[in-house]
Amino acid sequence: MNKAKVQKQFPSPLLVNYYLHRCQEDPLQAAKIVHYKFILRTHFVHETDTVVLEDELQRIKLSGDCINVNEVVTGVVVAVLGSEDEDGVFSVIDVCWPGCMLQKPLPKLENDSYLVLMSGLNLALQSTEHLFALNLFLEWISGFCGTSNYQEEISKVVRVIIAGGIFSSHSDERTLNESDVIAAAPHVDSICAALSSVTPLDLMPGCKDPTGIMLPQKPFHYCLFPKAVEYNTFNRVSNPYECDIGGLTCLGTAGEPIKDIMRYSKLEDCLEIMKKTLLWRHIAPTCPDTVPCAPCLDTDPFTMYNCPAIYFSGNGKEFATDLFIGAEGQKVRLVSVPDFCETRTVALVNLKNLECYSMVFT
């Protein structure tokens, strides 16, 4: 499926000049129009957008109420039922999405075990306002603070996953340069070493971290972590990332695919988009159209071949969670992991019952 759009992300000079000409008597008003119409736009959609079905041979425009043009994006696989009219438009009367993949039986754990999810540490940021909260988190995860109940809970943490943004997160508007990486690398290494000394740590890169920007992103280079690599509990992993924790499949990204779907649709709820990607059976359908992606000929690295028990997206604006129940009884804990630099919040998932809650460090 392809979504045809009449406007691009960046305005053409002719279009900008058109608005400037219309408001030539009031240059300030012209500047405001250009600013609000193009620079501050967060959703690149239009009322004239259409849905086009295509394969290797041809493409055809779709019509009907079965598919909401504002809730689909380019790259989604779908089967449609209908007929072609005299104008060459295919009238859809029914639609079939791939649906959520079958899920292997979830293990029955006798004791509580916790997975900690966090993202957006933004340690290359010049500001140090969030470092107090980060140090408070390190003391908490190390068992140096909190009540006895908290310390008992901490002892049951089996893994920490940092879902991108450890150097620079989505909230940082600056472009990370080589000097920023060099300056922040010792601090990042110390944080990773401190975490790896008390619990297994999986470190994912983000779109602004010092690694290749094209998805799937390769793990960080080991030279950035001379202290942390001494611990066998420190794992440099890819983005997206899939792993098995206590018999539960955990899958997630640093947030780029979810943010891109928001950008090219009218969907604004992160959890709602994550549910749709489960039904589409694809983590990043807009790759490589609007998200940089490495060329893949034989396989699609973003196809969901296994239904996860825990599905997370990093660098969100706020913490959010929900339990997705599939048509075949699949249970998926959805977690929108907030930007730690902005919210001082981490997410905890109980692997025993898939319950999830947040913890704020202020």
What residues contact residue 141 under an 8 Å CB cut-off, 6+ apart?
116, 154, 157, 160, 195, 198, 199
Give me the tens of pLDDT residue by residue for the chain, a chain 362 residues long. Answer: 665 543 334 444 444 454 445 555 555 665 555 555 555 567 788 888 889 998 888 899 999 888 889 899 999 999 999 998 888 899 999 999 999 999 999 999 889 999 999 999 988 876 777 888 999 999 999 888 777 777 888 889 999 999 999 998 766 566 667 788 888 899 999 999 999 999 999 999 998 888 888 999 999 999 999 999 999 999 999 999 999 998 999 999 999 999 999 999 999 899 999 999 999 999 999 998 889 888 888 888 999 999 999 999 999 999 999 999 999 999 999 999 999 989 999 999 999 999 999 999 98
Number of other CB atoms surrounding residue 244 within 10 Å:
10
| Edge-to-edge strand ranges of the sheet holding 356-360 | 234-236, 201-204, 157-163, 114-118, 345-350, 356-360
CATH code of the region 2-96: 2.40.50
Question: Distance between CA 256 and CA 239 in Å, rounded?
Answer: 10
User: Is there a contact between 252 and 240 (Cβ–Cβ < 8 Å)?
Assistant: yes
Cα 138–Cα 162–Cα 132 angle in degrees, nearest 5: 35
Nearest Cα neighbor of 2 from 338, 291, 285, 247 is 285
Distance between CA atoms of residues 357 and 362, nearest Å: 17
Q: What is the pLDDT of residue 1?
A: 67
Q: Give the amino acid at 94.
A: D
Widest CA span in the chain: 74
Edge-first strand order for the sheet with 79-84 is 2-4, 50-54, 59-63, 89-96, 79-84
Residues of the chain with CATH 3.60.21.50: 114-360
**Tokens 């089996």 identify what position?**
158
The whole-model pTM stands at 0.86
- Domain limits, CATH 2.40.50, in the chain: 2-96
Q: What is the CATH number of domain 114-360?
A: 3.60.21.50
Structure tokens at 291: 């998200």
DSSP string, 189-240: HHHHHHHHTTS-EEEE--TTSSS--SBSBPPPPGGG-TTGGGSTTEEE--BS
Q: Are 192 and 237 in contact (CB under 8 A)?
A: no
Asked whether the beta carbons of 89 and 61 are under 8 A apart, the reply is yes
Give the separation between CA 69 and CA 77, rounded to whole angstroms. 14
